[in-house]
Amino acid sequence: MKTFERIFLYSVLAILFFYVFLVDGNVESQVAIQEEIRARRIIIVNDEGRKVIELFAMDDGGGTISINNKAGNMVVSMTDFEDSGMIGIYNKTGNPVVFMSTLESGGGMIGIGNKAGTLIADMVENEDNGLIRTYNKAGTVFVGMGSNDASGGISIFNKAGNLGVVLDTLRDYGRISIFNKTGTQVVNLNATTNGKGRISITKGGAIGVNNEAGNMVVGMGDLENDGYIVVRNKNGEGTGTLP
């Protein structure tokens, strides 16, 4: 047998020996390795070498999964947040526009941001009830709608963040409250416990009825801590008062 043939034959036998006694004998361990990969960070790249998916452990012991767009900006993330979970969705410039997370109370929250990443709306758990809020671009809440154990309501705020109007149910009947610019209630419209209606004005004020031309024809209000009623013609000219 020639030297080349002996080398070839011995090489083939060595490969067979390795397969039978080492590879085939450790099939179970191979399967275990394929089913479980242990690493602190796994990075998947695209054809251009840019990172598109990252899985890694954070220093605080939690974990994070992030997905990037083809430009390399993160567009989706799933992460541990104060021992709870959070999912964030980002626009192409990397600003957060949608996120879902848990609250310290154990409830959940969904937030929506504008293109700059400023929160403009959210839905949250509020003492085991639901609450929806909208904000302006400066982050001031403008409208809130929610429920509690006894009723539901809608609150509208002015640009200073003070209450302007509240519509709610109170003890199973409806109510509309109007506030001045400092947040002080000045008008209240509600049903009474006996099923009738009531309008009340505080801090002084008036109720007027206008015609189609916009002229007040009937007025009722407070005048120097006393009450008065005024009646006018279609041109808005006074025709009678009481007292």
Range with the poorest average pLDDT among 7-21, 111-125, 185-199, 201-215: 7-21
* CA distance linking residue 237 with residue 137, whole number of Å: 45
Range with the poorest average pLDDT among 61-65, 83-87, 170-174, 178-182: 170-174
Range with the poorest average pLDDT among 28-42, 95-109, 159-173, 180-194: 28-42
* pLDDT of res. 90: 95
Q: Which of 205, 234, 204 is nearest to 217 (CA)?
A: 234
Domain boundaries, the chain: 1-36, 206-243
| Predicted confidence band of residue 33 (pLDDT cuts 50, 70, 90) | low
* pLDDT of res. 32: 52
* CA distance linking residue 180 with residue 141, whole number of Å: 17
Q: Supply the pTM of this predicted model.
A: 0.65
- The 3-state DSSP class for residue 176 equals strand
pLDDT tens-digit readout, 124-165: 988 788 999 999 888 888 999 998 877 889 999 998 889 999
* pLDDT of res. 156: 94
The answer to whether 144 touches 131, Cβ cutoff 8 Å, is: yes
The answer to whether 153 touches 143, Cβ cutoff 8 Å, is: no
11's enclosing H/E stretch is helix 3-18
| Predicted confidence band of residue 11 (pLDDT cuts 50, 70, 90) | low
* CA distance linking residue 161 with residue 144, whole number of Å: 12
| Predicted confidence band of residue 216 (pLDDT cuts 50, 70, 90) | confident
* pLDDT of res. 209: 86
| Mean per-residue pLDDT, 38-44 | 86
pLDDT tens-digit readout, 50-101: 889 999 888 777 899 999 988 888 999 998 877 788 999 999 888 999 999 9
* pLDDT of res. 4: 46
The answer to whether 206 touches 218, Cβ cutoff 8 Å, is: no
